[in-house]
Amino acid sequence: MLRILEQKNFTAYQNQIQNLNLPEPAELHLSEALDDENAVKGWILYAYQPERIVIYSLDDGNDWNYCDGLVRSVLFKAQLRGIEKAVFEIADQTVFARLKTLGFVKNDNKILENISEVMENCKKCKENPANT
């Protein structure tokens, strides 16, 4: 079963963080996707801003399910803070293409204006008998 947990220790990710063009100051958050053996299968780096959440980097291990789970978990956390806008500052074009295919971004627009809409579509997907 996929578990996504926020991590407070960024030591293992310092090289990846240093290679990003982050604004100063950025209060970063990092969540990991863990499998049943507690092995890290992916991670997502993000920051909350007053009216939006910014996703700076995502490593999903080239797995669509991890990509979807990591992004949805972060979007849900943003909703809990009353945030409805997400900005994807993802430099990796392969990951960005996956985000487009999964419906998180439209065309080449890096902004998701309505997180609730994406989350509601997830509920509809679960109700679809083809997905059971």
- The residue among 123 and 95 whose pLDDT is bigger is 95
Query: Are residues 27 and 47 in contact, defined by beta-carbon separation less than 8 angstroms?
Result: yes
Is the pLDDT assigned to residue 16 strictly greater than 50?
Answer: yes
- Neighbouring C-alpha atoms within 13 Å toward the C-beta of 109: 10
Residue 55 structural domain: 3-131
What are the φ and ψ backbone dihedral angles of 56, each rounded to 5 degrees? -95, -35
> For 75-88, how does the pLDDT look when each residue is reduced to its tens digit (9 = 90+)?
999 999 999 999 99
Q: Give the model's confidence band at 20: pLDDT under 50 very low, under 70 low, under 90 confident, else very high.
A: confident
What total number of domains does the chain contain? Answer: 1
Q: Give the model's confidence band at 70: pLDDT under 50 very low, under 70 low, under 90 confident, else very high.
A: very high
Give me the CATH number covering residue 60: 3.40.630.30
Peptide bond just before 23 cis, omega within 30 deg = no
| Distance, CA of 17 to CA of 14 (rounded, Å) | 5
| Distance, CA of 65 to CA of 63 (rounded, Å) | 6
Task: Say what the pTM is.
Answer: 0.86
> For 21-42, how does the pLDDT look when each residue is reduced to its tens digit (9 = 90+)?
787 667 899 999 999 999 999 9
